[in-house]
Amino acid sequence: MKTKKVDLRFGIAIIIANMIGVGVYTSIGFQVADIKSASAVLLLWLVGGIMAFCGALVYAELAMVCPGSGGECNYLGKIFGPSLGFLAGWVSFIAGFSAPIAAGAIAFSKYMSVFFTGVNPAYIAVGLVVLICVINLQGLGFMGNFQKGFMYLNLFLVLSLIVSGLIFADSSHFQISFNMIDLKNVVRPEYAISLVYVAYAYTGWNAVTYVAGEVDKPQKNIPLALMFATIIVTVLYILLNFVFLYAVPMDVLAGKVEVAQIAAGSFWGIFGVKLVGILIGLGLLACINSMMLSGSYVLKVMLQDFKSLKYNNYLNDKGAPVFSVLMQTFVALTLILTSTFQEVMIYMGFILTLLNSLAVAGVFIIRRRNITCDCEAVYRTPFYPYVPLLFLLLSFWMMLYVFIQNPIQSIAGIFTLILGLLVFYFLNFREKKNEILTISESEG
């Protein structure tokens, strides 16, 4: 019998490690470019936390009713059918892993520019992805053994920035207010669009559901891990972004990617700029390596039932899934060379929110069918149906304005979904055709 290893603390660590990354260190610069109110920006991060918390409450019920690992791929497959299960895996591969690899590489190039002055950041980003690809083809996913250490590194960096900023920052420029002008910022279309950056920063709140089959006492630990981790990260995110605004004027942050470096430079000087660049660079290296490793196996597992794709199951002499790693690298490099960091962020936020919304909407089907988990402790989403409705309303509000203001990235997200369905039906057609030929040959 297989021993389950993920307890409550490990489950919380998995979620926190997946959540704290590129988004919180890079996105506020795009928010303050359109929102000139500190209180409105901080409220945006609170709204993002509430949205993630609502999603976590619903996913806990999905994990009980649809036991097993796989997250959305498992839930959508069991609730809506195999085509949407495949589609969830497809979106996870493209937008959940390949696009974040591209975003992480671009962010890495921005933070490393202080060490490589005069070098085109695109060269640094491309070089990093190619390097990680080569490492994974050699079967040397060595940084996977240090993911927990990098989680502690990230937490240390976040807490250091918060404490140092509150103590040492020159806040003479800082102003915060709560009036009608601030309220008007909240109801503007730009506010909904800025939420997409925040939604991406909170991506990972559902991470433990991908290993739900390995969680000890899942009826208790999955809901608690989802809720506690989301609350912890929400508090840290609000405090960290408060420090960014407290330490640096908005016009200096506006449009910048390397906001953590700028903030550190304001109270630690040039030493802080380089130190933060190194620490975040190490964190991004680990993150990109982990996503390359995980994403390649998502594609391999997703396609392994299609016998006609023999090359998908090919492993080199190092045990690496060559086709999956190369496909992951190709998609990431395409995004780096054709898109800006902001465009990649919007694309990811739009399509991942859409995927999460489909999963959350599944709880209504579960309730309509009156399905409950076959266990002693039955978990149900509290304050149903208001919690899933709030998540869906916020998601729809955000996606609507993103589609209006950024149609290219939104259409690219929708095209990704359509392409995924076409690939699924094409592969199914090939499988049935091959089966018919095999039967005909055997009969002949």
Residue 244, classified by CB atoms within 10 Å of its CB into exposed (0-12), middle (13-18) or buried (19+), is buried
State the Cα–Cα distance between residues 404 and 406, nearest whole angstrom: 6
What's phi and psi for 380, nearest 5 deg? -130, 145
Residue 357 and residue 84 in contact, taking contact as beta carbons nearer than 8 Å: no
Pairwise CA distance, residues 159 & 22, whole Å = 16
pLDDT grade for 142, boundaries at 50, 70 and 90: very low
Alpha helices in 72-188 (DSSP H): 72-80, 82-91, 99-112, 121-137, 147-168, 180-186
Q: What is the largest CA-CA distance in the chain?
A: 86
Helix H segments across 175-314? 180-186, 189-201, 218-247, 250-253, 259-303
Q: Is 2 exposed, middle or buried (0-12, 13-18, 19+ CB in 10 A)?
A: exposed
Question: Residue with structure tokens 């802080």?
Answer: 272
Domain locations along the chain: 8-443
Tokens matching residue 110? 């921005």
Contact 150, 282 (CB under 8 A): yes
The mean pLDDT of 114-135, rounded to a whole number, is 86
Indicate if the pLDDT at residue 143 is higher than 50. no
Task: Estimate to the nearest angstrom the gap between the alpha carbon of 346 and the chain centroid.
Answer: 12
Each residue of 61-82: pLDDT tens digit? Answer: 888 888 776 678 888 888 888 8
Which DSSP helix (H) or strand (E) runs through 68?
none
Sorted by sequence, the CB contacts under 8 Å of residue 65 that are 6+ apart come out as 366, 371, 372, 373
Architecture per CATH, 8-443: Up-down Bundle (1.20)
Give me the pLDDT at residue 92, please. 83
pLDDT at 1: 40
Task: Quote the distance between the C-alpha of residue 20 and its chain's center.
Answer: 10
Q: What is the mean pLDDT of residues 120-144?
A: 77
Residue 307, H or E segment: none
Q: For the residues 186-211, what does the mean pLDDT come to?
A: 83
Q: What tens digit of pLDDT does each residue of 83-124 get?
A: 888 888 888 888 888 888 898 899 888 888 878 888 888 899
Q: What is the total residue count of the chain?
A: 444
Q: Which helix (H) or strand (E) holds 339?
A: none
Read off the pTM.
0.82
User: In terms of C-beta density within 10 A (0-12 exposed, 13-18 middle, 19 or more buried), how is residue 376 classed?
Assistant: exposed
CA distances from 218 to 15, 59, 67, 383 (A): 15, 12, 9, 21
At 357, list the tokens: 């919304």
Cβ neighbours of residue 428 under 8 Å, at least 6 residues apart? none
Q: What whole-number distance in Å separates Cα of residue 352 and Cα of residue 345?
A: 11
pLDDT, tens digit, 9 for 90 and up, residues 216-275? 787 888 888 889 999 999 999 999 999 999 999 999 999 888 888 899 888 888 888 888
Would you place residue 310 in the very low, low, confident or very high pLDDT band (cuts 50, 70, 90)?
low
pLDDT value at residue 241? 94
- Return the SS3 of 366: helix
Q: Assign 372 a pLDDT band (cuts: 50, 70, 90).
A: low
